[in-house]
Chain A
Amino acid sequence: DGGITQSPKYLFRKEGQNVTLSCEQNLNHDAMYWYRQDPGQGLRLIYYSQIVNDFQKGDIAEGYSVSREKKESFPLTVTSAQKNPTAFYLCASSFLRGAGVDIQYFGAGTRLSVL
């Protein structure tokens, strides 16, 4: 089945620990995105990538890092510098057709909590 797979579904982080959230897509999409969702707020963009080995900061990149070594994969690391990491994290992907808006499709999310 084609889709976007995020893992794990639930993740717990200890003080001072880095944790990595996985995102894999088999839709042959060009672009991938990471969003953070807090209660009562919309989706805020953390990082995005249009092509392999390239990525850009979104609106709230501080305390996060990403890599894009393969077209299918876009892991997000929540570093110890992120002081308020508890949130629901969503990965999305889309084609880049170069004309008009490209619809983004989302994974099922990872809920990160601090121990």
Chain B
Amino acid sequence: GQQLNQSPQSMFIQEGEDVSMNCTSSSIFNTWLWYKQDPGEGPVLLIALYKAGELTSNGRLTAQFGITRKDSFLNISASIPSDVGIYFCAGPDSNDYKLSFGAGTTVTVRA
């Protein structure tokens, strides 16, 4: 599959802080997806991006489709304890019905 590099690998954040993570690909994408996985559960879709430069929000989450079409960013504003989990980026594999996933960013919130 496609190679997706996600960073940082993990982060410890203070409650109330804003945080950012990003994902880069080795090829141009036409779609970026961001999922969140709570401990012991399956990933849940947070945001889908379909156009270069697109900026989309979902509550305190904001994601951007990079203008180079090879990267995407996810921001969480005013972190709260329930933001704990693993955040994955995903994009199309060589076939659109398959996805490639980044290794994930593990977020831990200090109360």
Chain A residues engaging chain B, CB cutoff 8 angstroms: 4, 6, 31, 33, 40-43, 45, 48, 50, 59, 90, 92, 94, 96, 99-109, 111
Q: Distance in Å from the Cβ of B95 to the closest Cβ of chain A? A: 10
Q: How many residues of B contact A (CB 8 A)?
A: 27
Bound form: Cα–Cα A31–B104 in Å: 24
B33 and A103 form a contact (CB under 8 A)? yes
Measured between beta carbons, the chain A residues less than 8 angstroms from B33 are 101, 103
B77-111: which residues lie under 8 A (CB-CB) from chain A? Answer: 88, 91-92, 96-99, 101-104
B102 and A104 form a contact (CB under 8 A)? no
A100 and B96 in contact (CB under 8 A), knowing A41-B103, A42-B102? Answer: yes
Please tell me if B59 contacts chain A, counting CB pairs below 8 Å.
no
Among listed B12-20, B42-50, B65-73, interface-contacting one: B42-50
A45 and B1 in contact (CB under 8 A), knowing A50-B97, A102-B97? Answer: yes
Bound form: Cα–Cα A102–B50 in Å: 12
Please tell me if B30 contacts chain A, counting CB pairs below 8 Å.
yes
A101 and B96 in contact (CB under 8 A), knowing A90-B43, A108-B41, A109-B40? Answer: yes
B41 and A109 form a contact (CB under 8 A)? yes
Task: Name the residue in B31, B43, B44, B96 with the highest tally of chain A Cβ atoms < 10 Å from its Cβ.
Answer: B43
A106 and B42 in contact (CB under 8 A), knowing A40-B103, A42-B4, A101-B33? Answer: yes
Q: Distance in Å from the Cβ of A101 to the closest Cβ of chain B? A: 4
B97 and A96 form a contact (CB under 8 A)? yes
> Given A43-B101, A106-B42, list of 14 further CB < 8 A pairs?
A4-B42, A6-B42, A31-B97, A42-B101, A42-B103, A45-B1, A90-B42, A101-B31, A101-B91, A103-B33, A105-B45, A107-B42, A109-B42, A111-B40
Measured between beta carbons, the chain B residues less than 8 angstroms from A43 are 43, 88, 101
Question: Which of B6, B30, B88, B99 meets A100, CB within 8 Å?
Answer: B30
